[in-house]
Amino acid sequence: MLKNNPFNGLFFKLLLGFWLCSSLIIALVSLLPLLQQNHDRSPLPPSLERVLKSVAKRIQEQPQLLEGKNLQRLHRSRNKQGDRNHNAGPLRLYLTDGEGQVLNTKRVSRGFRRFQLMAEEADHPISHQFRDELIFGPYSFVVNGKPYQLFGRFPDNHPRPWFFFFADNKLLTAGLAILLSGLLCGLLAWYLGKPLRSLKHSANALARGDLSSRVDAATANRRDEMGQLAQAFNGMADAVQAMINNQQRLMGDISHELRTPLTRLQLALALGRKKGQQSEELERIGYEALQLEALISELLTLSRVSLASHENKVVLELAESLSQVLDDAEFEAEQQGKLLQIDIPEALQLPLHPKTLSRAIENLLRNAICYANSQITISAAQVGKHILITVEDDGPGIDPKELEAIFKPFYRPDTARDRQSGGWGLGLAITQAAITLHQGSIVAENLIGPTGKREGLKLSISLPVS
């Protein structure tokens, strides 16, 4: 056996998965301020620098522009080169002195004040795209021995980098981060839950009697605890299937071997009767031999039904498959003065084992006819992907505590303990084995009247159509 690698363990996968998920979300959210900061400190593009340089050169050549109303006209000036390069609206210029005071206008936006601080921290000309404006600068120059700085502003028709959208919409960013985190955790949960779903499906199938159910190879071949659990489950299922098959085969073999001495006994009785050896003791021995033969026949039937899973099903009409059984039951009910009502549409079809299913329905009808007061009903209908067969009678019903136990081999309710009416308790066991062979289910329930008393028994069989 290969040594287990600790990095293949489920603990490590969970730790690594959630750690990577949280780290990725934190990294993406933390990256936005860094991207914004790098963009805030991006150097001034040459085209914008030429705009400021041309205006500064004009001021240096015409110092009178720094006086009076010329300063206000400077704030509203347009620059053809800037308009052409940036497809922008009017260019607004801000002229500051050495102390950072704006000289050419008294209306200064909060964004411009913020940009001044950003440019001072950057210590070189930069440009920054705010929500509704692009501000760039400063361009430093000297006029008459005094230092000045020139800034430019364009309106909001400049495209902004994509990450500014997330930086400005923090709630949306947080929502997207939560959504991305949920998606990543969902993928991790699906990856971890898939083998559990496969294991659950196989366990449910095994519980329903499908002894061939196993966990798929993809799950069993995993190198973590899930794979080890799947392999352990498959090993357990193999052992259970082998044990049950051996038990059923042993029952069939014993029943078959018992027939040999029983045949000799019946032959000896026949020879004794032929010689005229009649007595009450011989009659009793003959009766018990017949009972023993019937019991062995039932045991062999139960064994065959339980081991018939390898046989192929045949798609037949339900009414046609049960026609002989229904005719016999109708005749038997009539002989006992009872009424059998049949409601099985001819269009109902399903894959089945004809002999096995017929034997199961025959057992139910015989029990219903035996215990019914006057009426028995058998009906069938398709409900979704299943065909529901119900057998009802108006007899005394069964104690609610015994409704599940009646399907166990050799179990007989207290009301049916006598040999004549109760048999050996194998009829319903054969029926359940036959229904399980068809991947179906059978349930017994009492019919309750308006007064709250039991007014009959209802047996419901559900068989898959495909």
Known catalytic residues are 256
User: Residue 97 — φ and ψ, nearest 5°?
Assistant: -90, -170
**Mode of pairing for the β-strands spanning 339-343 and 375-383:** parallel
Question: How many Å apart are CA 8 and CA 11, to the nearest integer?
Answer: 9
**Mode of pairing for the β-strands spanning 454-464 and 146-154:** unpaired
Encode burial over 311-342: b for 16+ CB neighbours within 10 A, e otherwise: eeeeebebbebbeebbeebbeebeeeebebeb
Two structure tokens written together for 435: 């229904």
Task: Tell me if 105 sits within 8 A of 75, measured CB to CB.
Answer: yes
Question: How many Å apart are CA 314 and CA 357, to the nearest integer?
Answer: 12
Q: Residue 459 carries which side chain, given as an amino acid letter?
A: L
Ranges assigned E (strand) in 16-130:
92-96, 126-129
User: Residue 154 — φ and ψ, nearest 5°?
Assistant: -115, 150
Task: Tell me if 307 sits within 8 A of 437, measured CB to CB.
Answer: no
Paired residues of 434 in beta bridges = none
Contacts of 433 (CB under 8 A, 6+ apart): 302, 305, 306
Query: ∠ at Cα 319 (313, 320), nearest 5°?
Result: 65
Two structure tokens written together for 294: 């019937």
Question: How many Å apart are CA 121 and CA 139, to the nearest integer?
Answer: 15
Task: Tell me if 464 sits within 8 A of 438, measured CB to CB.
Answer: yes
**Mode of pairing for the β-strands spanning 349-352 and 92-96:** unpaired
From the list 237, 80, 48, the residue with the least C-alpha distance to 151 is 48
Element housing 433 (H / E): helix 427-437
